[in-house]
Structure 1
Amino acid sequence: MSGGGFSRLPNGTVVVAVSLPSPLGDGSVARFLVHAANRARALTRLRNLGLRAVYLRGNAEPPTPDEITAVLHHPDGLLWRLQGAPAAELWHPFRSSSPLRNRWA
């Protein structure tokens, strides 16, 4: 079951956070952050990268201020990290070289 939410920024853009079961098969959950012009575009960015069944129903798990800061300071505006990971673990860009992406696609 996926969970997620969004935060609208003062400039009109949104940051969407979505939690999805990890494809690693170990029961972990990956948290994705996307910065886009609106919620529909953010979800389209995720779907275009291979996460086809991504939907945002409600706003149960909106991004935290730390997550918003992380995604705003990244040039791609699309990050992921395993939930429950140590706080020292950094956010990872979701690019073609990402080891997690190769398992989802």
Structure 2
Amino acid sequence: MAGGGFSRLPGGSVVVAVALPSPAGEGRRIRVLVHAANRARALTRLRNLGLRSVYLRGNSEPPTPDEITAVLHHPDGLIWRTAPDDVDELWHPIRALLRPARPA
């Protein structure tokens, strides 16, 4: 998977950022941030949510300081947004991404 990386925090935990295809299938990507004790646990958290094909290869796009602040201030420590290049879009909790669509 391209577009991911991690940053180790002073306390020993890490923030992992990965880019995934949008579940809406519009050809767009989403950027997911996870705060965990280590990289393996961060990826396990995503896999346990049903995102089975999540891998981190390399550290080409580590989380920015603003992204680290955002994920550390979220109670779940797991957030996403659809347009990583659009600074006007707010971060969403992961449950908003995984919530089943409501019938019309």
Q: Normalising by the residue count of structure 1, what TM-score does the alignment of the two structures yield?
A: 0.88
Structure 1 vs Structure 2 CA RMSD: 1.5
Residue by residue, what CA displacement relative to the aligned partner does 1:8-53 show, whole Å, maximum 9, x if unpaired?
A: 0000000000001112121111000000000000000000001000
Following the alignment from structure 1 to structure 2, what is the Cα–Cα distance between the partners of residues 86 and 9? Answer: 25
Give the secondary-structure state (helix, strand or coil) at the position aligned to 1:31: strand
Q: Which residue of 1 aligns with 2:65?
A: 65
Residue segments in structure 1 that go unaligned for 5+ positions in a row: none
Residue segments in structure 2 that go unaligned for 5+ positions in a row: none
Q: Does structure 1 retain, via aligned residues, the 8 Å contact 2:79–2:94?
A: yes
Q: Which residue of 2 aligns with 1:53?
A: 53
Q: Normalising by the residue count of structure 2, what TM-score does the alignment of the two structures yield?
A: 0.89
Q: Percent identity?
A: 75
Following the alignment from structure 1 to structure 2, what is the Cα–Cα distance between the partners of residues 59 and 20? Answer: 15
Q: Which residue of 1 aligns with 2:23?
A: 23
Following the alignment from structure 1 to structure 2, what is the Cα–Cα distance between the partners of residues 85 and 24? Answer: 18
Cα shift at 1:102: 4.2
Equivalent residue pairs, number:
100
